Amino acid sequence: MDFSLSPEQREIQSLARDIADSEIAPHASTWDREHRFPLELIARLGALGLMGVCVPEEYGGAGSDFLSYILVLEELSRADAGVGVTVAVHTSAATLPILAFGTEEQKQRFVPALARGETIGAFALTEPEAGSDAGSLRTAAVPEGGGWRITGSKQWITNGSHAGTILLFARTDQSTAGPRGVSAFILDNEHVQVTREEEKLGLNSSSTADLRIEGALVGRDRLLHGERKGFVVAMATLDGGRIGIAAQAVGIAQAAYEAAREYALERRQFGKRISDFQAIQFKLADMATEIDAARLLTYRAAWLKDAGLPHTAEGAKAKLFASETARRQTGEAIQIMGGVGYTKEFPLERYYRDAKVTEIYEGTSEVQRIVIARSILAHAERASA
């Protein structure tokens, strides 16, 4: 086993860290307080190749591997998890599915602008009546004039208010219940109407919108991967997307740990630094251990994806553990800092708010446990057959 990063991976990680420290972290509290989507930053990230890190160069990307992209997400999320999820959904959930399932014409048409950050991508699967049960979606696509007429609504769509390219899922076979009647389409922002911008607990620098599709007419060239194959696209997309959310959670947890550690080294009580007290030392030791474990699970899942190996269960394990680590350890960081950690003078309360959603989106922790359980039980059955 070789746990070291390649020179190229270290270079990309260093670039992302520099941008995070100089151009994101100083503004993150303001963006959070104002609920402002930093559109100007997206153009900057695109110019640096960070909006298409793992997209091949022939399609406008940086041509790096998936692990490099995960390193970027971790660094961006350490500075502002809202920026992290914007890039994660744009890349994992919008750009990469077109690369994986699109025709050559679709790749050439849509991917370069996404990879360069000229267009922001979104993933529109969730509906008011279709959350974890994605197969129950009601948005309908009806054949018309050689294309499709799409009508329906979508909920909690990350990047929804700013996306120019939207991977949207609709039912094309109205007679077939469940996931088998679902297809995937590539839509433009002109095809959808933003009906609401969600007010959230955290991630306030990201956009989360409700969308309405009022009889949008699209050609057959907007169908991705063929009719009734949308659920295949969605599940494969979530397999990779969960690794990205795990990286986001690791970044949040790392930021909280660093803030708590530095505070513990400076804060004095009873004539000594609080870092000299065993109770604080044990908290920091547990934080560092869990964050390292979450990071290794995340990197392993990314390595498997890069190698073209199965990674469904491994991605689920990474997301499950990393998200719960982020939620626990942001709370512990506030505990170390005491009253000041509860105030907006320090970013700990923002980290705490941002961490919670990593246990919910791209599949709740309960869903991750189902995915993991199915995998281990299927493996046991095959071994005993």
Query: What does the DSSP assignment read for 265-309?
Result: HH-EETTEEGGGSHHHHHHHHHHHHHHHHHHHHHHHHHHHHHTT-
Domain assignment present for 299:
yes
Domain assignment present for 293:
yes
Q: Taking 90 as the threshold, does the pLDDT of residue 84 lie above it?
A: yes
Assess whether 312 and 184 both reside in one domain: no
327 Cβ neighbours under 8 A, 6+ residues apart: 355, 356, 358, 359
Task: Report which of 289, 344, 294 is spatially closest to residue 77, judged by C-alpha positions.
Answer: 294
Q: What is the pLDDT of residue 131?
A: 84
Assess whether 365 and 280 both reside in one domain: yes
Q: What is the CATH number of the domain that holds 265?
A: 1.20.140.10
Assess whether 332 and 291 both reside in one domain: yes
Domain assignment present for 2:
no
Domain assignment present for 1:
no
When pLDDT is cut at 50, 70 and 90, the band that residue 75 belongs to is: very high
Assess whether 304 and 210 both reside in one domain: no
Assess whether 242 and 380 both reside in one domain: yes
When pLDDT is cut at 50, 70 and 90, the band that residue 53 belongs to is: very high
Mean pLDDT of 131-151: 93
3-12, 172-181, 360-369, range with the lowest pLDDT: 172-181
Domain assignment present for 343:
yes
What is the domain extent for residue 354? 232-384
pLDDT tens digits, residue range 251-296?
Answer: 999 999 999 999 999 999 999 999 999 999 999 999 999 999 999 9
Mean pLDDT of 287-307: 98
What are the strands, taking DSSP E only, across the chain? 121-124, 140-144, 147-158, 165-171, 182-188, 193-197, 208-219, 223-224, 268-269, 272-273
When pLDDT is cut at 50, 70 and 90, the band that residue 177 belongs to is: confident
Mean pLDDT of 46-60: 97
Assess whether 54 and 144 both reside in one domain: no
User: Contact 267/274 with Cβ under 8 angstroms?
Assistant: yes
Q: What is the CATH number of the domain that holds 156?
A: 2.40.110.10
- Residues involved in catalysis: 362
Assess whether 171 and 217 both reside in one domain: yes
Q: What is the CATH number of the domain that holds 89?
A: 1.10.540.10
Assess whether 201 and 285 both reside in one domain: no
Last residue of a domain, one of 228, 248, 272: 228
**pTM attached to this predicted model:** 0.96
Domain assignment present for 165:
yes
Assess whether 373 and 306 both reside in one domain: yes
Assign residue 337 a region: left if phi > 0, alpha if psi is -120 to 50, beta otherwise? alpha
Last residue of a domain, one of 120, 149, 184: 120
Assess whether 368 and 247 both reside in one domain: yes
Last residue of a domain, one of 169, 201, 228: 228
Assess whether 134 and 82 both reside in one domain: no
Query: What does the DSSP assignment read for 253-266?
Result: HHHHHHHHHHHHHH
Q: How many structural domains compose the chain?
A: 3
Assess whether 160 and 177 both reside in one domain: yes
